[in-house]
Amino acid sequence: MTESQRHAVVVLAAGGSSRLGQAKQLLQHDGETLLHRAARFALATSPVDVVVVLGADASRMAAVTADLPIRTLICENWHAGMGASLRCALHALDANIDGVMIVLCDQPALTVDHLVALRDGWHCDPQRAVASGYADTVGVPALLPRHWFDETFLHGDQGARALLRERKTEVTVIDNPALAIDIDRAADLSELR
């Protein structure tokens, strides 16, 4: 890895899971909470930093990842959505980071191999983003060049998906249809089995 290819990972885990009725971050999948699993997978990409953004029930969530070499960050305005959580994390990252991988904790089909493929794709051309393709969309997990997050983004109300849409000609897509399944409602819990 060269100096120009240093990435950090932001795990977005601040939500209150209101549609599910329980904290999705704490749901078990293969004997591990979804939050711990996402953070552990993030570490497998060899980042220089992993920041887990918390909000709802933050102290309980922080305890889940206490055994991992990561940083937790509390987003006070987590109610404002993923864009607010992402901006909170970006402000906390070292200015010398060249790329930011964004990971959610509610995609049970997420694998280390997919995250490593995103990282490797970004290493091939760090001026471009590398994102996941599923359900006729391009989304996260994704690794975006740090320079994409300018002052306009840091003070606006958009998230990573909007940024990927706006700059689609600068995005390499790695298809992973299974990532379309996420845990949002009680009916989705069967996906954890």
Q: What is the pLDDT of residues 54-76, one digit of tens each?
A: 988 889 989 999 999 999 999 98
Percent of the chain that is helix, strand, coil (3-state, to 5): 40, 25, 35
Asked if residue 63 is part of any domain, the answer here is yes
Task: Using pLDDT thresholds of 50, 70 and 90, give the confidence band for residue 147.
Answer: confident
Task: Kindly state the tokens that stand for 26.
Answer: 């704490």
Q: Which of 5-9, 92-96, 141-145 has the lowest mean pLDDT?
A: 92-96
* Calpha distance 38→27 (Å, rounded): 12
The answer, yes or no, to whether residue 1 has pLDDT greater than 80, is no
Asked if 139 contacts 49 with a C-beta cutoff of 8 angstroms, the reply is no
In three-state secondary structure terms, 14 is coil
What pLDDT is recorded for position 3? 47
Asked if residue 18 is part of any domain, the answer here is yes
Q: What is the pLDDT of residues 84-106, one digit of tens each?
A: 888 889 989 988 899 999 999 98
What pLDDT is recorded for position 2? 47
Q: Which of 161, 129, 124, 155 is nearest to 143 (CA)?
A: 129
Over residues 17-32, mean pLDDT = 76
Percent of the chain with pLDDT over 90: 55
Asked if residue 119 is part of any domain, the answer here is yes
Asked if residue 17 is part of any domain, the answer here is yes
| Geometric angle at alpha carbon 70, from 66 and 71, rounded to 5° | 95
* CATH code for position 37: 3.90.550.10
Asked if 26 contacts 20 with a C-beta cutoff of 8 angstroms, the reply is no
Asked if residue 124 is part of any domain, the answer here is yes
Within 10 A of 117 (CB to CB), how many other CB atoms are there?
A: 17
Mean pLDDT score of the chain:
86
Asked if residue 193 is part of any domain, the answer here is no
Within 10 A of 170 (CB to CB), how many other CB atoms are there?
A: 14
DSSP 94-137: -TT--EEEEEES--TT--HHHHHHHHHHHHH-TTSEEEEEETTE
Over residues 8-36, mean pLDDT = 82
Residue numbers of the domain that contains 52: 3-188
Q: What is the pLDDT of residues 161-185, one digit of tens each?
A: 888 988 999 999 999 999 998 766 6
Asked if residue 32 is part of any domain, the answer here is yes
Amino acid of residue 183: I
How many domains are contained in the chain?
1
More confident residue, 18 or 13: 13
